[in-house]
Amino acid sequence: SERLRRLAARLERLEVSTGETIIRRGETGEECYVLRSGRVEVLARGAQGGERSLATLGPGSLFGEAALITDGSRNATVRAIEPCTLLALRRTDLLEVLDEDRHTRERLLELVRMRDRPRRVRGIEVHHRTTITGEPITTLKDPRRDANHRLSPAGWFVWQRLDGEQTLRDLTSEYLTTHEASPSHAVVEAVVGLVAAGFVEGVKPSPEVIAEESTLWQRARAAIRRILE
């Protein structure tokens, strides 16, 4: 559309040197980026206060949109590991394109107020096994209720991070960053399943609200990609 062409013309082209920090964890996000060439590393806070690598992203990758969409702070640091060319999209331009779908924009802005920090229920046992075909299987067991819950790969990803410090937005953002080729609904289904099975506490939204959030994320990311393509 004409609006998308106008917005595309506002994209800022950036050249980044090896070792340069593009996004810093904890800072306010005003732009998101698409990587046109080069590679970047996504880093999170490590257990001892240092940094741990989450992923390496290559050309075509989109990053930084989570804080831009939800008006939150950056939840990871992104640093160039070789010379890179980026296209930057400002928050105001994204909100302009989201005006085409006012319902999506209004609901996305409501996510700013969603600050729940889910955490694992205490006393849960984790059992790992491998099938004859080599498929890894992870099962949770609550001995107090004699309840079991089998985790998908996305479920195991989520379970390891349910420490009561990360919001639902943080979990979704990290998953989409490290599993860009995977559907975003995978992590949503994992959270919904854990909540329904009674293995997670500290979550107020119903499974229906969480599922709607997934749809909104998909719409927002699609809007960003339409501008950047």
CATH number of 2-105+222-228: 2.60.120.10
pLDDT band at 196 (very low <50, low <70, confident <90, very high): confident
- Sheet with 12-16, edge to edge strand ranges: 12-16, 84-90, 31-37, 62-63
Whole-model pTM? 0.54
Task: Report the alpha-carbon distance of residue 105 to residue 94 in Å, rounded.
Answer: 10
Report the distance separating Cα 127 and Cα 149, nearest Å.
Answer: 10
Domain residue limits, the chain: 2-105+222-228, 119-204
Examine the pLDDT at 148 and tell me if it is beyond 70. Answer: yes
pLDDT band at 85 (very low <50, low <70, confident <90, very high): very high
C-alpha triplet 1, 32, 72: angle, nearest 5°: 120
Q: Which long-range contacts (CB under 8 A, 24 or more apart) does 167-170 make?
A: 167/72, 167/114, 167/115, 167/116, 167/117, 168/114, 168/116, 168/118, 168/203, 168/205, 168/210, 168/213, 169/66, 169/70, 169/72, 169/75, 169/111, 169/114, 170/75
Q: What is the pLDDT of residues 206-216, one digit of tens each?
A: 555 555 555 55
- Of these ranges, 47-61, 107-121, 127-141, 210-224, the one predicted with the greatest mean pLDDT is 127-141
Q: By C-alpha distance, which of 51, 75, 91 is closest to 168? A: 75
* 21 or 4: which leads in pLDDT: 21
56-77 pLDDT, tens digit per residue, is: 888 888 788 776 666 667 878 9
